[in-house]
């Protein structure tokens, strides 16, 4: 506890970087996964390729991906961009299937009714199908958020400072305090992100609460 209080500023700044490195890929991944999911949902040939293909990306070990990034991107090994892009890959891996599931869960009668009312292509996607898929996508996003918070810490092995640095530091010095503080800070960050996603989802989907109350 004393260690924590003495290093409040350090932990705070590491937490901010950690949050930044976890959240930016989450948003980028969502933005990429939505069109991919849309494509997979409507195209029978692309569907298995996209869903299985992106899913496989998640099986690449994170350490390996972090190390590969500079080679692929030509970035420096300490560039946080490596982490952001690698985690975007993981987020896409987790979310494409979720987006497909969410869009597939839109009842066919609703889709038909929309077509019959002359609600065409893009308008139908953004005003009918995507809004109805929000609850499912949101649950996938919560998994991805927690996954990102946990994977970011591995980047400490490459020397990119964030909460994971507390683990490497504690481990190197055989000193438990920073490790415990790091774990707690990761937990707090996960819980806050989770609550944030739940909150935003509630605002976007007042009809879900109405349904469960009915």
Partner 1 sequence: MITFDKVTKVYPDGTRAVDGLSLDLPTGKITVFVGPSGCGKTTSLRMINRMIEPTSGTIGIDGRPTSSLDPVTLRRGIGYVIQSGGLFAHRTVLENIATVPLLLGWGKAKAYGAARELIERMGLDASLTSKYPAQLSGGQQQRVGVARALAADPPVMLMDEPFSAVDPQVREQLQDEFLRLQAELGKTIVFVTHDIDEATKLGDQVAVLRVGGTLAQLAPPADLLADPVDDFVADFIGRDRGYRALAFVAAPALPIQPEATVELGATREQVAAVAAGAPWVLVVEDGAPVGWVAPERLGATVGRDDLHRGGTVARVGGSLRAALDAALSSPSRRGVLADDDGRLVGTVSATDVLTEIERDETGPPS
Question: By the criterion CB under 8 A, which residues form the site for partner 1?
Answer: 107, 109-110, 112-120, 128, 131-132, 134, 205-207, 210-211, 213-214
The distance of closest approach from Cβ of residue 118 to partner 1 in the complex, given in angstroms and rounded to an integer, is: 4
Q: Which pair of tokens denotes residue 138?
A: 């949101």
The distance of closest approach from Cβ of residue 11 to partner 1 in the complex, given in angstroms and rounded to an integer, is: 41
Length of the chain: 214
When the beta carbons of 105 and 187 are compared against partner 1, the nearer one is: 105
The distance of closest approach from Cβ of residue 145 to partner 1 in the complex, given in angstroms and rounded to an integer, is: 23
When the beta carbons of 84 and 132 are compared against partner 1, the nearer one is: 132
The distance of closest approach from Cβ of residue 208 to partner 1 in the complex, given in angstroms and rounded to an integer, is: 9
Alpha helices, DSSP H, located in the chain: 2-6, 8-42, 46-57, 62-73, 80-104, 108-116, 121-124, 130-152, 164-173, 176-204, 206-213
When the beta carbons of 38 and 167 are compared against partner 1, the nearer one is: 38
When the beta carbons of 64 and 113 are compared against partner 1, the nearer one is: 113
* Nearest by Cα to 208 from 94, 192, 198: 198
Non-local (6+) Cβ contacts of 146 within 8 A are: 190, 193, 194
């Amino acid at each position: 506890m004393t260690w924590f209080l003495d290093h409040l500023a350090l932990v705070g700044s590491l937490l901010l970087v950690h949050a930044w490195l976890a959240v930016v890929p989450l948003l980028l991944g969502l933005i990429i996964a939505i069109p991919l999911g849309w494509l997979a949902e409507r195209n029978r040939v692309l569907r298995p390729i996209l869903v299985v293909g992106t899913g496989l990306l998640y099986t690449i070990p994170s350490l390996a991906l972090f190390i590969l990034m500079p080679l692929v991107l030509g970035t420096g090994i300490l560039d946080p961009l490596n982490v952001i892009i690698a985690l975007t890959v993981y987020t896409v891996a987790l979310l494409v299937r979720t987006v497909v599931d969410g869009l597939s869960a839109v009842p066919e009668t609703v889709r038909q009714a929309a077509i019959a009312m002359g609600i065409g292509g893009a308008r139908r996607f953004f005003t009918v199908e995507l809004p109805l898929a929000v609850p499912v996508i949101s649950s996938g996003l919560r998994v991805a958020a927690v996954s990102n918070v946990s994977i970011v810490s591995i980047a400490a092995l490459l020397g990119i400072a964030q909460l994971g640095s507390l683990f490497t530091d504690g481990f190197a010095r055989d000193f438990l305090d920073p490790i415990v503080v790091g774990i707690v800070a990761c937990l707090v960050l996960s819980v806050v992100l989770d609550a944030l996603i739940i909150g935003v989802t509630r605002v976007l989907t007042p009809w879900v609460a109405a349904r469960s109350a009915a």
